[in-house]
Structures are given as structure tokens and as C-alpha cells.
Amino acid sequence: MAKAAKTAIKKDPKLALEAKNYSKVIKAVRSPKTGAYTFKEGMVHKDKVKDFLANVK
């Protein structure tokens, strides 16, 4: 599955430059009801990582 994405990015240099600006962010969030952890994840622009982490509840 990752090969298809790599191939698509290699064909268009503009996509490759834009793809480097995104990061996958994962945050562990504890459930108040059960106490179990769940994970919230998202692909966000590198400039908005702090906003994502602050707003995930």
C-alpha cells in the first residue's frame, strides 16, 4: 500500500514537496468513564501540530 503512495509522489515533484509538510500525529487520551486509553490520530500540517494536540480531548 505504501508503494502506491511513493510512486504517486515520485511522479509529481510538487506533491513530494507538499507531502513533506504533513505529519501524522497520535495522542493518547484517557476515557473519564472507564479509565482506558484511546488514541486520536490525524494527518496535520506541520504548522498546526500544537493546535491539534491542544484541541484533542
pLDDT at 46: 92
36 located within any domain: yes
- Structural domain containing residue 57: 22-57
pLDDT at 7: 61
How many CA atoms, within 13 angstroms, populate the side-chain half-sphere of residue 33?
1
5 located within any domain: no
10 located within any domain: no
Helix (H, G, I), strand (E, B) or coil at 41: strand
Cut 0.85: pTM above it: no
6 located within any domain: no
13 located within any domain: no
Q: How many C-beta neighbours within 10 Å does residue 32 have?
A: 7
Q: Mean pLDDT for each 10-residue chunk of the chain (57 residues)?
A: 57 75 93 93 93 89
Distance CA 20, CA 46 (A): 9
pLDDT at 5: 57
pLDDT at 45: 93
Whether 18 and 12 have beta carbons less than 8 Å apart is answered as no
26 located within any domain: yes
